[in-house]
Structure 1
Amino acid sequence: MDSEFENQCLEQEENEEYEETESSSVQEKNNDGETTKQLSPREVNTIFNSETEVCEYYRQYGLQNGSGIMIRNTRKIDGVNTYLTVACHRYGEPNQKVVDSLKPKPVVKTNCKARVCAKRMDEDNKWHVTQFDNKHDHDLSPSKAHRFRCNRKLTKHAKRSLNLYDEAGIPMNKSYNALVVEHGGHKNMPFSKKDCENYMREIRKLRLAKGDAVALQNYFNKAQSIDSHFYYSIDLDDENRIKNLFWADARCRATYKEFGDVVAFDTTYLTNKYDMPFAPFVGVNHHGQSILLGCGLVSNEDTITFVWLFRTWLTCMFGNPPNAIITDQDRAMQNAIEQVFPKARHRWCLWHIMKKIPEKLKGYKEYDSIKFQLQNVVYDSIDIDTFEIGWSSMISKFNLENNDWLNGLYEGRHRWIPCFVKDCFWAGMSTTQRSESMNAFFDGYVNAKTSLREFVEKYDNALKDKVEKEVNADTRSLSTTIPCVTPHAMEKQFQENYTNDKFKEFQKEIVNVKYCECMMLQSDEAIFNYQVEEIQYVGDSQTLRTVKYNVVFIKDMELEYEVKCECRLFEFRGIICRHIIKVLLFKQNVFTISSKYILKRWRKNVKRCHSRTKVTYSTWKDTEEKRMYEMVCDAFYRIVDLAAENLERCNHLVGTFKKLELEWDTNDKGCSTSIVTKPEYFVKILMVNVA
């Protein structure tokens, strides 16, 4: 049964593949059941009005018979075409050269002689067919002819859709599949995926124009003309090529005024196809989210380059340097920071250092034990003395005195070991997570193959997404409340003042007070010293350990107080720790916290200037044609909604479309084009006809 069915299918396909049209007029039915007229071969001396008509007729003739076309020969006299040969796409001698005999490429040419020749006659200035050969030396397949290059064409709608998908960061395969669904399947596609890829490649080339430097400068100039606070700087070499690039929009600059005290700078995320590392300046907002404070692309990672970038960024940010800056372990960055930000606290990214442990220590026999003890010394040392003892013990126990990597880290310990840096405010910027979160932020927008101009546009899209997340977080903090889990007035105080995300951090501290026990060590009239013992769970094994922290409570004559804990959580993250809460609640009977421990940085009811800054990211890419297109589309979809559920309206609307298409097509060929350039005329006609 299966064999019989297969034979029927093969027979049907053969009938379709090899059928040729010989009559001058053949009637057939298309996929919709409508009767259409088949084209027929033109006789010698048939007249066409232009060479374009000759090519288009032969293309349509080949489409219905299963062949493609190519323009083989043209002949010019005084710069004007007088002779034309349009041949089958398999015309010409096959290429016999084989570069790799084991991987030969497909051959298209078969020396097929099918063609039409036409000549422009002086007497009537029209094109006369002088030869028509219809004999092909290869098989024909009408069902596959639409896939030939000459019959594939991207529609304006498809181009528009591809541009929108590209701006949204949608991969090409998904963009193409969306168009396939829209057209009702691959069989109805007037173009291929390769055509879409080629179109987007050309569009991106056009965006870059004749050179990266000129195109980017024009792009930024246009951005600046729309947003006067948009800032950019391009550093060119002697041959007018881009060396370094920096830009920041108005919102980035306004955001820096609010959250520019602590900044992370990192060039390790990606390098684009021009080998220019991406260099973002990253901060933290009032929800603890990563925010962009400008970014650059740099050609080198040397001191001179970083000095240029830091000084440019400092100029952009009104000459106000950050209080603290986090970078990776790079000597060139360190030199540049010392020159440009001499008063800023400089810290190395702990994540970058710890991720190198396997690379640097894997060769040791006791690698697992070394790794475990190193992590304990780094993360669990409460104070400097504890760290020094633990480090010395580790080095001597595993004979690591000659390890250059560890020796270098020890020399720079004041830049990365937590107990050395936690006396400074880092806005909760955990170096073990911040770099990873920035990587995730740009995933799906840019990659190592992204061109310079694309990079700027994709960056815009990523920034839009980031702003949207901040707005959503603002909305949640103002419209929802995280319930309190304790009866303490202190928790209620933070609930009313902090954003939801930051309140959760405080709530975690007040909940964990139950694992703390407090005892007084010594006191006088104004200074009270406490020791808080906390029971902690360690690792996946959930083993218990007790850690002791010293807390100092100082009371002044005006009944104000100051409290400090050895863990330095408040100094480091701006969140009051569980050890301080334990002392305040159960020893000092302080039930509401002093306002100086409720940071403005984390408050939800503060009106911030950056949130009032207008977002204009991609408006400079808009064109008049784009705005007209969107205007017509908006009106079109409203009208389609009115017509879609009524057959009479639907037929009337389609008829109106065909009438407009015929009228405007005539206008495009020589009549007035005022109708075409006025979308409001189109809207008026449709509204009158559909209403």
Structure 2
Amino acid sequence: MDRGKEVINNSNDDVNVDLSCAMEGNASLGGNSFDGISKKTWAELTSEDIMGMKFEDAEAAWKFYNSYAREIGFSVRRDDKRVVDGCILSQRFVCAAEGHRSQKYLNRENRQRPPRRLTRFDCHATLRVKYDKTLKKLVVVDFVAEHTHELAPTPNSMFMKSHRALSEADKALVPVRQNVKVKRRDLVKDFVDSEKRDLVKDGDEETILDFMESKIEDDPGYFYEYTVDEEKHLDNLFWADSRSRADYCCFGDVLVFDSTCKINIYNKSLIIFVGVNNHHQTIVFACVLLADETTESYEWTLKTFLKAMNGKIPNSVITDGDIAMAKSIQKVFLGCQHRLCSWHLSRNASANVKIDGFVEEFNKCMNLEGTPQEFELAWMEMLARYNLSEHEWINQIYGKRKHWAEAYLRGQFFAGMRSTQRCKSQNAYCNRYLKVKDNFIEFIHDFELALSRSRSREAREDFESMVTQPVVEDHLKSYRAQMGATYTKSSYVEFCKELKKEQSFFVAETQRHGEHHHIHTISEFLHPEHSWTVSYDALEKKATCSCLVFEGTGFPCGHMIAVFKVEQLRDIPASCIKKRWTKHARSGIELNNLSSTMQISPEFACTIRYAELTNMCNRLCYLGSKSLEGFQQAIVGIHKLVESLESVQTSSVSKDQVDKR
């Protein structure tokens, strides 16, 4: 695909790229002045612009092509070159995806683990320079812009081998950020240690609220709310940044949280609202510090959560067995399926029933993937076996079976989760950064550090999924190739698990209801007593299975795949591909029509645009600070742009006022 001329210039360089600067003043376009194309963005450069460019040496050509590749979204490497008497007469630079992986490596026998994902796709994108004896310079004699693979977004360029070095703008920001961080901590300490020494708690509370308010200046989508007690001390504190709120728009179908973490000097409960992203990683939606764990506090928390998330109620929620929390969920999250953590239930079973073998039987009943009738039968058999019909805890937990028994929860989407383990893992991860003696401001700083590290891992997975492809095995090769290009790296692994199960199933019977509607009975090899029913509509290309695995996990089950083979489908139907597991799970968030596509507030759309513009100004500030001339030019340009945008804002406000009248 050819995206080489379509990618919008990104935040890491100024919008109108000065290419002569990129080549350190050593290049020109033919015999013309380079100013003719210096106003173009990297993405606007054409083959005609680049062919014939001149460079003093191969290093200058490399810097140009590497800078171009960084903006367009690919990595480059040096290839063939011809050197005579230490002078480079010709040099070829290619896309890092050039060539193929050796078939000898792919076909290696007795492999202990799956082969690494493919990174080379026979890409022909290249730039070649040749020494011109008359000009005594290297001249571009060959340039190919088209790529055979998907290009990576520019923010992910830091993961590409040829772009891993810090840019000059980033290097310049390092001491600035360090100084700001040190000064901020010093100011906080001075504030606490001065005249408010006797009111440390009050001072700390005032500082954290000032800090939260200042965050809105940098991140207009930053949300926080708090309550105070009768003595006007900070009671509950809720916060979520714009990134977390955007994540909830894409992955907020399943919500997980518990209140078992206390990690601050005020002994408040830390509740972290988490979910799972398209890489099957834990992501944070919001956090709250609670003074107590009453029903009123939980109701305030959940109502504030909905307010922060534009009223979007999750489809499913997983929590521990806290009674106050359960009541609040039932009252605030109307229509939401509440599931109790299987790990907590298993632990409570062990604590309340001291009988050998009971916990194993209890877990079998809890995880039974059958019908409610099959669960009831298994439950009664267990009670009779251990004589527990009159046991108080047993009867109490049985009354809640619709919130924990898999037989009653089948078909409800929980993204493959049955416990709050992701919450506990996130708490454990954060504990590596948090200190028990942290005051409020230190706690928030340390928590943001943990969150930024977590998001860095997510960005790495985005990059790996985008620029690599799995090695496709022969079994159902067309399905593997399709899903390898669609799913993220981790999601593809989960899909292949179901694909492997398909080998044990076969279609035992097919009933035709009309021309397009078929009902298939699926049996398992060597286990004819096991059967499932798959209904397939050939006209709408929709399939449903009695196992309800697709509805619960978002991946087509092995039974459905067996039917796709019988129906002679070359591709998995789009109706059986859940977008939240794909590479483009976030594609619904558009900068220009975010509020309409995701049904969120215009203010939140403004947040996304603000963050993008802030990043784009990074390079501008760096270049403008390098010299007095550059500074003055930047100031003049910024003033003109601000005046233009203010006039746009004024006219927009006037129009809104007229419309309201």
Preserved CA contact (<8 Å) 2:220 2:610: no
Which position in structure 2 is the counterpart of 1:194?
A: none
| CA apart distance, 1:424 | 1.4
| CA apart distance, 1:309 | 0.8
Q: Deviations 1:448-483 (Å, cap 9, x if unpaired)?
A: 444322221111011101211111000000111111
Cα separation, 2, equivalents of 1:409 and 1:546: 35
| CA apart distance, 1:425 | 1.6
Note closer, same or farther for the CA distance 1:408–1:522 as it changes in structure 2 (3 Å cut): farther
Which position in structure 2 is the counterpart of 1:470?
A: 458
Cα separation, 1, equivalents of 2:422 and 2:545: 25
Q: Deviations 1:22-71 (Å, cap 9, x if unpaired)?
A: xxxxxxxxxxxxxxxxxxxxxxxxxxxxxxxxxxxxxxxxxxxxxxxxxx
| CA apart distance, 1:208 | 6.3
Preserved CA contact (<8 Å) 1:445 1:459: yes
- What are the residue-to-residue correspondences of 1:322-341 with 2, within 5 Å? 322-341=314-333
Which position in structure 1 is the counterpart of 2:237?
A: 245
- What are the residue-to-residue correspondences of 1:383-402 with 2, within 5 Å? 383-402=371-390
Preserved CA contact (<8 Å) 2:263 2:434: no
Which position in structure 2 is the counterpart of 1:562?
A: 542
Which position in structure 1 is the counterpart of 2:495?
A: 506
Cα separation, 1, equivalents of 2:470 and 2:590: 23
Preserved CA contact (<8 Å) 1:324 1:426: yes
1:533 aligned to 2:512?
Answer: no
- What are the residue-to-residue correspondences of 1:247-286 with 2, within 5 Å? 247-286=239-278
Which position in structure 2 is the counterpart of 1:578?
A: 558
| CA apart distance, 1:561 | 3.5
For the residue of structure 1 that corresponds to 2:367, the secondary structure is: helix
2:368 to 374, 380, 386: 380
Note closer, same or farther for the CA distance 1:212–1:375 as it changes in structure 2 (3 Å cut): same
Which position in structure 1 is the counterpart of 2:103?
A: none
| CA apart distance, 1:236 | 0.3
Which position in structure 1 is the counterpart of 2:280?
A: 288
1:227 aligned to 2:203?
Answer: no
Cα separation, 2, equivalents of 1:387 and 1:479: 46
Note closer, same or farther for the CA distance 1:249–1:610 as it changes in structure 2 (3 Å cut): farther
| CA apart distance, 1:269 | 3.1
1:596 aligned to 2:588?
Answer: no
Which position in structure 2 is the counterpart of 1:112?
A: none
| CA apart distance, 1:375 | 1.8
Preserved CA contact (<8 Å) 1:488 1:591: no
Which position in structure 2 is the counterpart of 1:79?
A: none
Cα separation, 2, equivalents of 1:481 and 1:269: 39
Cα separation, 1, equivalents of 2:529 and 2:223: 50
The runs of 5 or more residues in structure 2 that have no matched partner are 1-174, 592-607, 615-620, 627-661
| CA apart distance, 1:291 | 0.8
1:411 to 399, 402, 424: 399
Q: Over alpha carbons, which structure has the higher Rg?
A: 1
Preserved CA contact (<8 Å) 1:251 1:610: no
Preserved CA contact (<8 Å) 2:340 2:403: yes
Q: Deviations 1:322-368 (Å, cap 9, x if unpaired)?
A: 2222221122112212221112222212222123232222x33xx2x
Percent identical among aligned pairs is: 29
Cα separation, 1, equivalents of 2:348 and 2:368: 19
Preserved CA contact (<8 Å) 1:208 1:453: no
1:489 aligned to 2:469?
Answer: no
Cα separation, 1, equivalents of 2:525 and 2:459: 38
Cα separation, 2, equivalents of 1:469 and 1:229: 23
Q: Deviations 1:104-133 (Å, cap 9, x if unpaired)?
A: xxxxxxxxxxxxxxxxxxxxxxxxxxxxxx
Which position in structure 1 is the counterpart of 2:350?
A: 358
| 2:397 aligned partner, one-letter code | L
Cα separation, 2, equivalents of 1:582 and 1:315: 45
Cα separation, 1, equivalents of 2:363 and 2:243: 39
Q: 428-437 or 325-334, which moves further after superposition?
A: 428-437
Preserved CA contact (<8 Å) 1:208 1:216: no
| 1:307 aligned partner, one-letter code | E
| 1:592 aligned partner, one-letter code | D
| 1:553 aligned partner, one-letter code | S
Preserved CA contact (<8 Å) 1:494 1:503: yes
Cα separation, 2, equivalents of 1:312 and 1:515: 49
2:423 to 431, 435, 440: 435
Which position in structure 2 is the counterpart of 1:95?
A: none
Note closer, same or farther for the CA distance 1:453–1:533 as it changes in structure 2 (3 Å cut): same
Preserved CA contact (<8 Å) 1:213 1:240: no
Q: Deviations 1:504-552 (Å, cap 9, x if unpaired)?
A: 11011112222334412755443414133267xxxxxxxxx88724122
Cα separation, 2, equivalents of 1:227 and 1:552: 49
Cα separation, 1, equivalents of 2:472 and 2:191: 53
Cα separation, 2, equivalents of 1:328 and 1:534: 39
| CA apart distance, 1:300 | 1.1
Note closer, same or farther for the CA distance 1:522–1:389 as it changes in structure 2 (3 Å cut): farther
| CA apart distance, 1:555 | 2.3
Preserved CA contact (<8 Å) 2:535 2:544: yes
Preserved CA contact (<8 Å) 2:523 2:531: yes
Cα separation, 2, equivalents of 1:615 and 1:439: 31
Cα separation, 2, equivalents of 1:282 and 1:350: 17
Note closer, same or farther for the CA distance 1:482–1:355 as it changes in structure 2 (3 Å cut): farther
1:460 aligned to 2:448?
Answer: yes
Cα separation, 2, equivalents of 1:552 and 1:240: 61
Note closer, same or farther for the CA distance 1:549–1:438 as it changes in structure 2 (3 Å cut): farther
For the residue of structure 2 that corresponds to 1:355, the secondary structure is: helix
| CA apart distance, 1:251 | 0.8
Note closer, same or farther for the CA distance 1:432–1:292 as it changes in structure 2 (3 Å cut): closer
Which one has more relative contact order, counting CA pairs under 8 Å at least 6 apart? 2
Cα separation, 2, equivalents of 1:583 and 1:372: 35
Count of residues paired in the alignment? 419
Cα separation, 1, equivalents of 2:523 and 2:576: 20
Cα separation, 1, equivalents of 2:476 and 2:387: 54
Preserved CA contact (<8 Å) 2:251 2:275: yes
For the residue of structure 1 that corresponds to 2:274, the secondary structure is: strand
Cα separation, 2, equivalents of 1:546 and 1:438: 43
Q: 560-569 or 478-487, which moves further after superposition?
A: 560-569
| 1:341 aligned partner, one-letter code | F
Preserved CA contact (<8 Å) 1:532 1:551: no
Cα separation, 2, equivalents of 1:213 and 1:268: 23
| CA apart distance, 1:202 | 6.9
| CA apart distance, 1:433 | 3.8
Note closer, same or farther for the CA distance 1:511–1:201 as it changes in structure 2 (3 Å cut): farther
Preserved CA contact (<8 Å) 2:298 2:325: yes
Preserved CA contact (<8 Å) 2:479 2:570: yes
Note closer, same or farther for the CA distance 1:534–1:469 as it changes in structure 2 (3 Å cut): farther
Cα separation, 2, equivalents of 1:590 and 1:357: 47
| CA apart distance, 1:161 | 10
| 1:229 aligned partner, one-letter code | G
Cα separation, 2, equivalents of 1:312 and 1:508: 39
Q: 420-429 or 236-245, which moves further after superposition?
A: 420-429
| CA apart distance, 1:267 | 1.0
| CA apart distance, 1:279 | 0.8
Preserved CA contact (<8 Å) 1:284 1:429: no
